[in-house]
Amino acid sequence: MAIGFHAAMAQGRTVVAALHASARSVHRMTRSAALVLLLAGIAGISAARAEDALAPVEARVPFAPAAFTGSDGRTHLAYELHVTNFYGDSGALAPQGLDVFGDDAATPLLALDAKQLSHVVKPAPAAQEPVAILPGKRAVFFVWLTLPAGVSVPHRLRHRIHFTADAHASSMLDGATVQVGDAQPMVIGAPLRGGRWLAHEGPGAAQSHHWGSLVAVNGQLTIPQRYALDLVGVDDAGHVLRAGVKDIHRSSYADWIGYGADVLAVADGVVRSARDGEAEHQPLSAQPEPASLTSDGLFGNYVVLEIAPGTFASYAHLRRGSLKVKAGERVRRGQVLAQLGQSGNSAAPHLHFQLSNAVAFEGSEGVPYAFERFGYLGTESEAQLFGQGEPWHASPIEDRRSQLPLNDVVIQFPGQSGLGR
């Protein structure tokens, strides 16, 4: 897991990297083409013997998407398309575009060209370089599908990719069909009370350390943070630090907006896992690599609630000594669980929040959700958090219901002037 943000600093325009180190890269998923070549020999098949028009790839969507409504009022689907260049003699395959079709439609719901694909793939190519999938390697495309107004959620999705190769004719993938999940996102209460919060590294950011972090553990490859939010407290000017702080690198916890805020249960549930006692770090100090890609290795002090059968809410980086619940305890919606802090792999105070389908971080998949109610105040850049660039001004507050905040929107939960309970 990776929790963090990059912000342009006033002194020297330096970039402060993030609240949290990123998970292992997909580069490590396939270490050598040798095994692929061996498998090809056993099967007695080579790329040259395949139909010229059909791409020599294996493609699939490991975790089916489910539709949700974002803070833009639109219906979205977020998922990953894994494409493996299977054979050793196929050369580097360069995707020229991706089309996504719903059901039996002839017109795509989404069409990305080669340049656009380079911004939504892991491993990411070098700047200005096109995507190239080498023999025996895999590429993961992060698909963000926004349905046009008036279009119903499809029952299934089909993918089409045209490839060019080093020394081969062009080829095409047409398939990798996936059924769209029919479960409705769970509508939950607020994890914090009042205040203004930047929903950083939120849904829609394909290269974020949340959605973009694949976790390979014990034979499973998952994305626990697919819909995670880093909720960063800001003041009326959109700043993360209180007025009067001259040197951010010498700031204290108390200088950060949001530190110590009560963290709330978003629904009735049972505490399935909890930890307290982990030390907090000096804000913006260097962070060590996590000891493991687990809750204990990443979250610091944390609480995990089971709020529905197979649905778990995780709260991470909590203040040391602030936990008010323990494993096995039943809680009620709105109950105070702990306080916002900076423990675990976190370089500045914030609340990491996510819903997933398993209690353990490793091996779980992030699932969409919606907050019952929040106020929408516009979007904000990382630079503006620290007073850089154009000053941030809140938009007139808009009351939102049953939506999921998207990346870098500023929101306000009930309990503050301007938004009732």
- Domain containing 46 equals 34-179
Predicted confidence band at 22 (pLDDT cuts at 50, 70, 90)?
A: very low
Query: What's the average model confidence in pLDDT over 143-164?
Result: 96
Domain assignment present for residue 50? The answer is yes
Query: What's the average model confidence in pLDDT over 125-148?
Result: 94
- The reported pLDDT for the residue numbered 111 is 98
Q: What CATH number should be reported for the domain holding residue 60?
A: 2.60.40.1470
103 and 232 in a single domain? The answer is: no
160 and 82 in a single domain? The answer is: yes
Domain assignment present for residue 270? The answer is yes
Lowest-pLDDT choice from 51-65, 215-229, 260-274: 51-65
73 and 174 in a single domain? The answer is: yes
Q: Higher model confidence: residue 394 or residue 38?
A: 394
**Structural domain total, the chain:** 2
For the cut 90, the answer to whether the pLDDT of residue 418 exceeds it is no
Cα–Cα distance list, 330 to 266, 326, 351 (Å): 13, 9, 22
- The reported pLDDT for the residue numbered 168 is 64
Q: What CATH number should be reported for the domain holding residue 353?
A: 2.70.70.10
Report the mean per-residue pLDDT for the chain: 86
Distance CA 276, CA 78 (A): 33
Q: What is the dihedral of CA 21, 26, 31, 35, to 10 degrees?
A: 150
Extended strands (E) in 241-308: 262-264, 269-275, 302-308
170 and 273 in a single domain? The answer is: no
- The reported pLDDT for the residue numbered 7 is 36
Note whether 400 and 71 are within 8 A (CB).
Answer: yes
Domain stop point among 126, 154, 179: 179
Tokens (6 digits) for 147: 């349905």
- The reported pLDDT for the residue numbered 416 is 54
Extended strands (E) in 215-268: 215-217, 220-222, 229-234, 262-264
Domain assignment present for residue 419? The answer is no
100 and 164 in a single domain? The answer is: yes
Q: Express each pLDDT in 38-78 by its tens digit.
A: 333 334 334 433 444 799 999 999 999 999 999 999 999 99
354, β-bridge pairs: 314
Q: Express each pLDDT in 173-215 by its tens digit.
A: 999 999 999 999 999 999 999 999 999 999 999 989 999 999 9
Query: Does a cis peptide bond (omega within 30 degrees of 0) precede residue 123?
Result: yes
235 and 332 in a single domain? The answer is: yes
Domain stop point among 161, 179, 197: 179
Domain assignment present for residue 124? The answer is yes
Could you say which DSSP state residue 147 is in?
Answer: P
Domain assignment present for residue 27? The answer is no
Domain stop point among 179, 213, 238: 179
197 and 148 in a single domain? The answer is: no
Q: Express each pLDDT in 95-135 by its tens digit.
A: 999 999 999 999 999 999 999 999 999 999 988 789 999 99
Query: What's the average model confidence in pLDDT over 390-395?
Result: 94
165 and 216 in a single domain? The answer is: no
279 and 153 in a single domain? The answer is: no
- The reported pLDDT for the residue numbered 53 is 77
Quote the distance between the C-alpha of residue 50 and its chain's center.
37
247 and 155 in a single domain? The answer is: no
122, β-bridge pairs: 140
Domain assignment present for residue 148? The answer is yes
- The reported pLDDT for the residue numbered 34 is 34
- The reported pLDDT for the residue numbered 419 is 53
210 and 160 in a single domain? The answer is: no
175 and 189 in a single domain? The answer is: no
pTM, two decimal places:
0.86
Best CA proximity match to 36, nearest among 53, 57, 60: 57
Note whether 214 and 79 are within 8 A (CB).
Answer: no
Domain assignment present for residue 209? The answer is yes
Domain assignment present for residue 368? The answer is yes
Q: Express each pLDDT in 310-345 by its tens digit.
A: 999 999 999 999 999 999 999 999 999 999 999 998
